[in-house]
């Protein structure tokens, strides 16, 4: 970068102009910084000296719009090889739906930490919830009337901070201190967390025990007993069941677009102990199912051998994620139960029940559910109200002599 003082023609005559000159993509570019009168050479030289001793990114007035930067950033996200298509869409959706509409400046260089704190963040908090939908193989979001929750606020801010760091890596001028923003300890004090619907213990068990269709009875029983994620449940194959040792191997899953992913799960592959009752249901269904869904000639990398292989996978269930969420509502409706969520209550149920029983160690719980104690306590453990009678008896003892 070079800073020079040159004489230029202006409407009022000749003037001194301070220019910044630099090379970009093999081309010479110039930018005028300030114009002085011919008798103000000292002022012009002072400015030239100041600019010459500054970083280029602080000197050149970039005219990079947020629209351009976001578009380029989303292209980078979509090319990322280590994240799933669904997660990429979520990353982009956090910004598109909860951040981008609330940017109050056109250019990156104009946007400051104060703009984020005083304008964008309050708007993010008021942003509306979105529900993920899949129809005819296409995924999209539906906006609801309720404001987003604490977790969505945090993730939206996190994704925007990632964007700011990306801008820094490209030398796009903006206020990089935004990337250091942290919520204060009391920021969410008094924040009313939206309560997610949960069936009662009786309702959930009625759906499991009164289901007549053997496939769905196995599906619900496995979900309630194991608490595995829905995409893992749909990815169970015949080879996943170890009848000799009473184990269920969680090795495979479906992605957000319902594509089968051999030897890919969200966090960790694992083997979990299951009951003889569940093993028996697996055996019955495997003998009953005449034409199981089979993926043939699947190319995959075997993580145990680190080599590419090709073979077939015989699926236990021919269900997509969306179809499974619809089936549970249909099964519940037959019993007069207004089931407001999909399959997610089964994982919450399983984690809560095993937590309350206090039989497994924290390590065993971590291994079974592939998450941490902190995550379980924050997102999964619910009051299932299973000890209502015992609690009432205890309350009565308070006033008894």
Q: What would the two tokens of residue 36 be?
A: 């002085």
- CB burial of 4-42 (b: ≥16 within 10 Å; e: otherwise) equals eeeeeeeeeeebbbbbbeeeeeeeeeeeebeebeeeeee
Q: What is the pLDDT of residue 24?
A: 67
* Inter-residue contact 63 to 174 (CB < 8 Å): no
Q: What is the pLDDT of residue 162?
A: 96
CA–CA gap between residue 308 and residue 107 (Å, rounded): 48
**Phi/psi at 209 (5° precision):** -80, -25
CA–CA gap between residue 120 and residue 95 (Å, rounded): 12
* Inter-residue contact 358 to 373 (CB < 8 Å): no
**Mean pLDDT by groups of 10 residues along the chain of 401 residues:** 86 86 77 87 89 66 85 93 81 94 92 94 90 67 78 93 93 90 85 72 94 97 96 97 96 89 92 96 96 95 92 96 95 95 92 90 94 85 64 62 48
Helix (H) or strand (E) holding 35: strand 27-36
Q: What is the pLDDT of residue 58?
A: 60
DSSP per-residue codes, 109-138 = GG--HHHIIIIIHHHHHHPEEEEEEEETTE
Q: What is the pLDDT of residue 338?
A: 93
Q: What is the pLDDT of residue 394?
A: 64
Q: What is the pLDDT of residue 187?
A: 86
Q: What would the two tokens of residue 106 be?
A: 């056109």
Q: What is the pLDDT of residue 204?
A: 94
Q: What is the pLDDT of residue 266?
A: 87
* Inter-residue contact 161 to 178 (CB < 8 Å): yes
CA–CA gap between residue 49 and residue 41 (Å, rounded): 12
* Inter-residue contact 303 to 263 (CB < 8 Å): yes
- Quote the DSSP letter at residue 195: P
Identify any residues that bridge with 28 across adjacent strands, giving them in sequence order. Answer: 23
């Amino acid at each position: 970068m070079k800073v020079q003082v040159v004489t230029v023609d202006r409407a009022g005559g000749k003037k001194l102009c301070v220019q910044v000159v630099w090379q970009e993509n093999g081309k010479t570019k110039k930018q005028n910084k300030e114009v002085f009168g011919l008798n103000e050479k000292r002022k012009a030289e002072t400015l030239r000296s100041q600019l010459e001793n500054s970083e280029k990114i602080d000197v050149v007035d970039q005219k990079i719009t947020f629209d351009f930067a976001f578009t380029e950033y989303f292209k980078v996200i979509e090319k990322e090889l280590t994240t799933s298509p669904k997660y990429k869409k979520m990353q982009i959706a956090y910004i598109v739906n909860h951040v981008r509409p609330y940017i109050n400046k056109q250019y990156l260089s104009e946007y400051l930490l104060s703009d984020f704190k005083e304008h964008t963040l309050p708007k993010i908090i008021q942003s509306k919830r979105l529900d993920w939908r899949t129809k005819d193989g296409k995924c999209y979001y539906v906006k609801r009337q309720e404001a987003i929750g604490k977790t969505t606020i945090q993730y939206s801010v996190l994704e925007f901070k990632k964007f700011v760091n990306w801008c820094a890596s490209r030398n796009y001028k903006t206020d990089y201190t935004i990337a250091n923003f942290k919520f204060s300890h009391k920021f969410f004090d008094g924040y009313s967390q939206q309560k997610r619907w949960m069936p009662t213990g009786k309702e959930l068990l009625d759906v499991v025990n009164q289901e007549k269709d053997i496939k769905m009875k196995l599906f619900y029983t496995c979900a309630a007993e194991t608490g595995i994620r829905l995409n893992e449940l749909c990815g169970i194959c015949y080879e996943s069941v170890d009848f000799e040792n009473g184990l269920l191997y969680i090795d495979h899953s479906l992605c957000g677009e319902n594509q089968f992913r051999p030897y890919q799960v969200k966090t960790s592959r694992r083997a979990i102990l299951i009951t003889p009752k569940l093993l028996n249901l697996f055996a019955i269904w495997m003998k009953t199912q005449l034409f199981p869904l089979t993926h043939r000639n699947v190319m995959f990398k075997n993580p145990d051998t680190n080599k590419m292989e090709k073979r077939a996978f015989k699926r236990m269930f021919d269900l997509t994620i969306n179809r499974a969420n619809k089936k549970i509502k249909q099964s519940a409706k037959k019993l007069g139960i207004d089931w407001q969520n999909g399959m997610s209550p089964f994982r919450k149920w399983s984690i809560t029940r095993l937590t309350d029983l206090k039989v497994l160690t924290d390590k065993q719980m971590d291994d079974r559910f592939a998450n941490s104690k902190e995550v379980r306590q924050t997102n999964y453990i619910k009051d299932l109200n299973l000890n209502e009678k015992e609690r009432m008896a205890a309350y009565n003892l308070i006033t008894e002599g």
